[in-house]
């Protein structure tokens, strides 16, 4: 109870400090204020973009006529202008503020609206650490760019040099943990220091001090990521206990690390990185030894240990991984077995290169190049296995899927650790039951997938997670409307549909969940015409995408109300935005809405337009009252993943027979909302969701609308 009390007190103090009363009103009003702030860690990229985010602490701000001294933690986002900000240095700019989620540690989100000025240098130690990281990254070499980037990933957790394609391939085969600095890295670093200290004649307490200093320095170098903090605190606990001559149990050290870190930072309780790190470590400690013992009866000892390590970590992480990815990584075990033997030598070479990067850059080049021979092999492993058929197999979502995964963990633990035969048998029964259900489910999914898509499909809503991607076909001419957030899902969907040529690409607006997968959509495909919103958007999603489109040689056109054309037998027209996006307040409000008029149905694709834009669209035109709209079945691509920001009267007037919602499973936005689902059901519409059905195909003829769906089979 005392531990819980300390945790709650820590949460209360930190939550209040991040949301001081003088600042909270400015945040809620989306104000822009002159502020000075301290950078707390290393800027990191997020999403499939060149956007960065970094934790900051506002130390002073001009709000109204008051000059306030603050100590408020939040998050700064931006492009290259924040990529080189130094940890613990102070800067100033005009900060545009907006609210963060109530559950976030950050009290606000912010962007600099002018140039950033440096107010003070970081402390000498932080400056030195920054220079060491920079020297290491600058001097690193590799057989390929990807192998070079993986050396940095394994040594210090820096993935900035890795392409999105490689990161996705590693995610598909469950190898991303290699670039998350954790216990193995700390153990290797401590081992090197212990060896050198002992060779130099250092005693027990000298080794203790050297080890603790090394841990602190290494954490500072790689950044205070949750997995690093867990590993460092756990290693420190073991190190202190051993140095004092006391016995220590690894599970006790893990429990101690978890308690200390949750008190210091209660938000780690909802951090997936922290949860995965703790679960993997617990799995290794609980399951590795008994599983290796059982496998040794049939395999050589080295093979038994290797398999036991991979299975133990993956088993305990399984329920958590299902919250981050759709389905089970089919080839995780062989990929990890092939990659794991290379991790230790690569990490040692990478850390040595880090140590000599400043005094001997030529040696750092040699060491990192040698390490890249191994990382090149890891990259090839990820590429090979992720390219195999069915690299991800389906698994039930929601509470049912989580419960089934939890039963797998319980079953394995009982089978391997229980001392009583009845409990062991219970574990075997649980595993057998889950295995039988899994085989049956997977077989069913494979049979469904083999018959998908239906032969005469005309519309497909691709399952790209929390994003939009739709395909329209007529007389073998293809239109693609948005491309999702990531490259792999949209590429996979288009490949399944056999699409190698895109006649019309519509990018409704430049939110990343609509344009982030542009390279995947166009990989190996030629595009003729691109239709984009005229809204002036300066975000990287807009500028970066436009630069990429220019390189393709496609014809780029601005969409506005009244622009029309044909796609085979389908007539299309733009319903919104207005000329030069007049009246639009933001990118969602200016997203492209289109009416597709086919022989047997009408399709309205609503992008992310909100209620204001929908009302304006209805007031500016009477398209929705045309006889052709009412005579044929209406298919509605619901706006903004089914958010609450809808104009119910428009939905009632359209009276859709089918409503398609492109949405990610268990997304953090609460999409689709009960309000919108209620409106659609009230209109009598059949609601089809990609988070429940996977990709959805539609064809139409004299007999009406035909629907088929395929759960996603690859990541």
pLDDT in tens, 367-409: 999 999 999 999 999 989 887 877 777 777 667 778 888 888 8
Region 256-275 average pLDDT: 83
- For 501-534, b/e burial (b = at least 16 CB within 10 A) is ebbbbbbbbbbbbbbbbbbbbbeebebeebbbbb
**In the chain, what percentage of residues exceed pLDDT 90?**
24
What is the length of the chain? 715
Least confident of 27-31, 225-229, 252-256, 579-583: 225-229
Mean pLDDT of 76-95: 88
The token pair at 25 is 């009103």
Q: 446 vs 675, which has greater pLDDT?
A: 675
The answer to whether residue 16 scores a pLDDT higher than 90 is no
- Whether the pLDDT of residue 714 is over 60: the answer is no
Neighbouring CB atoms inside 10 A of 456's CB total 11
This model's pTM is above 0.75:
no
Q: 531 to each of 458, 461, 560, 564, 577, how far by Cα in Å?
A: 20, 19, 10, 11, 12
Q: Which residues contact 567 (CB under 8 A, 6 or more apart)?
A: 472, 474, 477, 478, 479, 503, 504, 596
Residues 548-571: b if buried by 16+ CB within 10 A, e if exposed: ebeebebeeebbbbebebebbebb
Mode of pairing for the β-strands spanning 686-689 and 392-393 = unpaired
Q: What is the dihedral of CA 503, 694, 47, 400, to 10 degrees?
A: 180
Indicate if the pLDDT at residue 577 is higher than 50.
Answer: yes
Among 359-368, 504-513, 694-703, where is mean pLDDT lowest?
Answer: 694-703
- If pLDDT is split at 50, 70 and 90, which confidence band does 713 have? very low
- Of 14-18, 213-217, 515-519, 680-684, the range with the lowest mean pLDDT is 14-18
């Amino acid at each position: 109870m005392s531990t819980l009390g300390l945790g709650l007190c820590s949460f209360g103090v930190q939550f209040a400090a991040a949301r001081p009363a003088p600042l909270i009103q400015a945040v809620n009003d989306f104000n822009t204020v002159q502020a000075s702030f301290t950078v707390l860690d290393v800027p990191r990229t997020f999403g499939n973009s060149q956007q960065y985010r970094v934790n900051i602490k506002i130390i002073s701000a001009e709000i109204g006529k008051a000059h306030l001294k603050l100590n408020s933690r939040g998050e700064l986002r931006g492009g290259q202008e924040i990529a080189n900000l130094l940890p613990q240095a102070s800067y100033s700019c005009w900060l545009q503020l907006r609210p963060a989620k109530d559950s976030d540690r950050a009290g606000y989100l912010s962007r600099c609206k002018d140039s950033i000025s440096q107010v003070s240098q970081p402390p000498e130690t932080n400056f030195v650490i920054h220079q060491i990281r920079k020297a290491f990254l600058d001097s690193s070499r590799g057989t390929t760019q990807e192998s070079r980037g993986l050396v940095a990933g394994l040594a210090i957790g820096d993935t900035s040099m890795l392409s999105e394609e490689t990161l996705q391939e590693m995610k598909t085969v469950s190898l991303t943990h290699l670039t998350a600095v954790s216990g193995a890295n700390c153990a290797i670093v401590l081992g090197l220091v212990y060896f050198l200290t002992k060779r130099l004649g250092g005693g027990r307490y000298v080794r203790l001090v050297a080890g603790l200093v090394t841990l602190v320095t290494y954490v500072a170098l790689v950044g205070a990521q949750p997995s690093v903090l867990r590993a460092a605190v756990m290693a420190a606990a073991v190190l202190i206990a051993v140095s004092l001559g006391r016995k220590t149990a690894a599970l006790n050290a893990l429990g101690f690390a978890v308690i200390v870190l949750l008190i210091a930072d209660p938000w780690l309780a909802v951090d997936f990185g922290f949860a995965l790190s703790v679960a993997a470590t617990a799995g290794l400690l609980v399951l590795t030894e008994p599983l290796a013992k059982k496998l040794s009866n049939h395999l050589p000892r080295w093979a038994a240990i290797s398999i036991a390590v991979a299975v133990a970590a993956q088993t305990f992480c399984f329920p958590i991984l299902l919250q981050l990815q759709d389905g089970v990584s089919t080839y995780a075990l062989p990929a990890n077995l092939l990659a794991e033997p290379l991790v230790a030598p690569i990490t040692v070479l990478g850390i040595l290169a880090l140590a000599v990067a400043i005094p001997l850059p030529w040696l750092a080049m040699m060491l990192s190049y040698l390490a890249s021979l191994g990382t090149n092999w890891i990259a090839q492993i990820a590429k090979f296995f992720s390219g195999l058929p069915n690299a991800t197999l389906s698994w039930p979502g929601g509470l049912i899927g989580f419960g089934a995964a939890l039963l797998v963990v319980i079953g394995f633990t009982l089978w391997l650790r229980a001392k009583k035969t009845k409990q062991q048998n219970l574990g075997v029964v649980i595993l057998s039951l889950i295995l039988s259900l899994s085989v049956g489910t997977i077989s069913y999914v494979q049979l469904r997938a083999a018959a998908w898509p239906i032969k005469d499909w005309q519309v497909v809503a691709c399952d790209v997670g929390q994003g939009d991607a739709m395909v329209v076909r007529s007389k073998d001419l293809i239109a693609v409307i948005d491309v999702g957030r990531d490259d792999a899902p949209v590429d996979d969907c288009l490949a399944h549909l056999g699409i190698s040529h895109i006649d019309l690409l519509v990018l409704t607006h430049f939110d990343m969940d609509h344009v982030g997968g542009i390279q995947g959509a166009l990989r190996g495909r030629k595009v003729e015409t691109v239709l984009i919103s005229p809204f002036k958007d300066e975000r990287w999603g807009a500028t970066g995408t436009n630069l990429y489109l220019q390189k393709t040689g496609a014809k780029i056109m601005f969409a506005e109300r009244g622009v029309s054309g044909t796609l085979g037998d389908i007539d299309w027209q733009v319903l919104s935005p207005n000329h030069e996006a007049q009246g639009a307040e933001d990118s969602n409000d200016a997203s492209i809405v289109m009416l597709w008029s086919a022989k047997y149905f009408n399709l309205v694709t609503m992008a992310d337009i909100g209620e204001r834009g929908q009302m304006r669209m209805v007031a500016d035109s009477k398209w929705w009252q045309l006889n052709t709209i009412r005579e044929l079945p209406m298919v509605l691509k619901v706006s903004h993943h089914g958010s609450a920001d809808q104009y119910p009267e428009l939905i009632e007037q359209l009276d859709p027979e089918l409503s398609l919602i492109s949405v990610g499973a268990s997304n953090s936005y609460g999409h689709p909302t009960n309000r919108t689902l209620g409106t659609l059901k009230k209109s009598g519409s059949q609601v089809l969701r990609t988070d429940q059905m996977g990709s959805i195909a539609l064809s139409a003829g004299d007999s009406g609308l035909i629907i088929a769906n395929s759960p996603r089979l690859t990541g």
